[in-house]
Amino acid sequence: MPTQECSTTDCGRPAAFATRSEPAWCLDCIDNLVRAGGLEPAEPFTKPSTWRLTTCRTCGVQAHYRLEYIIGNNAAGIATCRACHWKAWRGNRGPRPGATLDRGKITRRLDEFGYELIDPLDEVSDDGDGPLVAKCRRCGRIRAARMGDFGWRCNCSRNTRSSNPASPRPGRLLLSESDSPALQWWDHERNDEATFRTVTVRATRACQWRCPECGRRFEAKVSAMAERPTCPDCSARRHAEWKSEYAQWQTTPVAEVPELAAAWADDADPREVMVAGSWKLRRFRCPNGHQPRISPLTFMSSGCPHCRGAKTAAAKKWLADTSPEIAGQWHPTLNGKHSPQNVVWDSQRMVWWRADCCGHEWQDTVRARDKYQRLRCPACRTFLGSLAWDDPGLAAEWSPANPLTAWNVRPHTSTPFVPEWICATNPGHTWQAPLSSRSNGAECPDCREAGKSRVELAHHAAAEELFGNARSGVAMKDKAFTTRKSWTTDISVSVNEHTLVIEYDGAYWHSAPAKVLVDERKSRDLLAAGCLVVRLREDDLPTLGIDHPRYREVRAHSTVARPGPVMEDIRDWVTDLTA
């Protein structure tokens, strides 16, 4: 139940939702805010982030709007209804000469964009400017917009990435554990210790800072300071100093600056050309023989652009290294000499692609593949970064009864339904669980209740007797994990400041292809986190094919278990490895 009071003065009723720092209102006040925007609620309020169906009190058009959007328009004195807005805009602009209404053409175009036509709203609408009312076939959201705006598709079909693939942002990295220069600016006197220990480098919270240069205290967002700490006073002072310095360069000839005079290769007299103040480009010669045409001030401050370009080229992010999923769809025969290994990840080059799911072939730029909808296949409407790509072992347990496939959901996305799962070990086990809980390591509840096998328990007892600190069922988390955020280990031991993980792979539970894939991904994640990994593969289970100095597979037999000698062998291997 919400405990926050309504933000309307003298209301006093409990708010319909709770927030940390933003205002909240009761249901009656929320409806009054909607009416203040010229709309009438057509369905009950649920939460601020949802699209709520409303009816315009002027034109009667029904459409969905978010509460935040309505409040923003109210503050700006703008009516919210987009149907009224676009009809007025079209009326002021006038119809395009020769344009005619073609409902069939409009319907086909909207269908291509994933919408169903409700009302053209205008006598002329197929020229791309006329206002339309249409409903998204996928989520049911109704909106009023121009035809060209529908081409961007509904927000529900967007598949935005969280960061730039070439320079990914850190996850929940604590500021106190980072190497950000903002740590020297943190004001410990005006910020409490709890905030310092819990705030992340991407937090938008405003905190107190102290400039280490001038001592000025000020308030700024953590994310901005973690990226580039700046002081308002020092920035203003440096700007004033630069303006004064620039004025001096405007009266200083090139001949009086030794580094410019030595590189001068222009026909003009360097004694008559000023370092700054002129738009005209001049010829210079760098030590490497390049002769760029560039302004004297830019050459003095940045050097030769050709030399800088060579350094940039050496640090290029190739598609194969930055976006392996997209690179895997590169057409093998239609792109000539170009390949994912010699094309940058955000190239504007038009190339051929081939979908491995259905064989569909199409042309698109490399950069466009990673924007907006970020589709893996435009024919199948599957998208990049899906559960099927990131965690195929978990995707193998995704039930076909779910309304979406594993290629249409992210590993940690919030779905409008609770997904159903089918256990890869025992297909008779079916259950429902949120995507995030499964991606965080939750397993089949029936299998988990069955407990550990007798042989696995015997190996854990032997490890505890030999190492003294063996633990069972420990959930491990590490930033190096790429498949899941958390893995539950069978046996974990601390040996010589190293973490040894021993996994027992029973033939019955680990023979399914999905489980084999999970075992491989789990082992690679643990190795990436710096662990020593030993897998006890039972009977005739095939090897996982992992070649790593800190990885070992030991053959275990369920009928003739030898936990004591097996653990002694593992101890000797670890001792030699960590000596």
| 422 lies in the same domain as 505 | no
| 63 lies in the same domain as 129 | yes
Quick one: pLDDT at residue 446? 65
| Domain assignment present for 71 | yes
Quick one: pLDDT at residue 188? 94
d(CA 575, CA 579): 6
Quick one: pLDDT at residue 185? 96
Handedness of CA 148, 149, 153, 158 (dihedral sign): positive
Going through 459-526 in order, the beta strands assigned E by DSSP cover: 471-477, 486-495, 498-505
Quick one: pLDDT at residue 452? 67
| 274 lies in the same domain as 328 | no
| 89 lies in the same domain as 135 | yes
| 566 lies in the same domain as 510 | yes
Taking a C-beta distance cutoff of 8 angstroms, is the pair 506, 558 a contact?
Answer: yes
Taking a C-beta distance cutoff of 8 angstroms, is the pair 561, 549 a contact?
Answer: no
| 467 lies in the same domain as 556 | yes
| Domain assignment present for 21 | no
| 460 lies in the same domain as 514 | yes
| Domain assignment present for 14 | no
Is the pTM value of this prediction over 0.85? Answer: no
**Which of 366, 384, 402 is the last residue in one of the domains?**
384
Quick one: pLDDT at residue 121? 63
pLDDT tens for the chain, residues 1 to 579 = 447 899 999 998 999 998 877 899 999 999 999 999 999 999 999 989 899 999 999 999 999 999 999 999 999 999 999 999 988 887 766 555 555 567 788 888 888 888 999 877 655 444 556 678 999 988 899 999 988 888 888 888 778 777 778 777 666 788 988 889 999 999 999 999 989 988 999 898 999 999 999 999 999 999 999 989 999 999 999 999 999 999 999 999 999 999 999 999 999 999 999 999 988 999 999 999 999 999 999 999 999 999 988 887 777 889 998 999 999 999 999 999 999 999 998 899 999 999 988 899 999 999 999 888 889 998 988 989 999 998 999 999 999 999 999 998 988 888 878 999 998 888 888 888 889 888 887 788 767 644 567 778 788 888 888 888 888 777 888 889 988 888 888 889 998 889 999 999 888 888 888 899 999 999 999 999 999 999 999 878 899 999 999 999 998 877 667 888 899 999 999 988 887
| 475 lies in the same domain as 490 | yes
| Domain assignment present for 3 | no
Q: Does an H or E element contain 39, and which?
A: strand 39-41
Taking a C-beta distance cutoff of 8 angstroms, is the pair 554, 536 a contact?
Answer: yes
| 268 lies in the same domain as 349 | no
Question: Which CATH number is 479's domain given?
Answer: 3.40.1350
SS3 content of the chain, % helix, strand, coil (to 5): 35, 20, 45
Cβ neighbours, 10 Å, residue 520: 16
Quick one: pLDDT at residue 80? 95
Taking a C-beta distance cutoff of 8 angstroms, is the pair 131, 346 a contact?
Answer: no
Quick one: pLDDT at residue 134? 94
Quick one: pLDDT at residue 138? 83
| Domain assignment present for 165 | no
| 538 lies in the same domain as 480 | yes
d(CA 451, CA 517): 22
- Angle of CA points 89, 90, 95, to nearest 5°: 155
| Domain assignment present for 8 | no
Taking a C-beta distance cutoff of 8 angstroms, is the pair 548, 423 a contact?
Answer: no
| 403 lies in the same domain as 368 | no
For 89-100, give one letter per residue: b (16+ CB within 10 A) or e.
Answer: ebeeeebeeeee
- Type of residue numbered 120: P
Closest Cα partner for 20 from 263, 296, 204? 204
Quick one: pLDDT at residue 21? 77
Handedness of CA 167, 172, 178, 183 (dihedral sign): positive
Find the domain containing 545 and state its range.
Answer: 452-578
| Domain assignment present for 464 | yes
Number of domains in the chain: 6
| Domain assignment present for 6 | no
| 405 lies in the same domain as 507 | no
Quick one: pLDDT at residue 450? 47
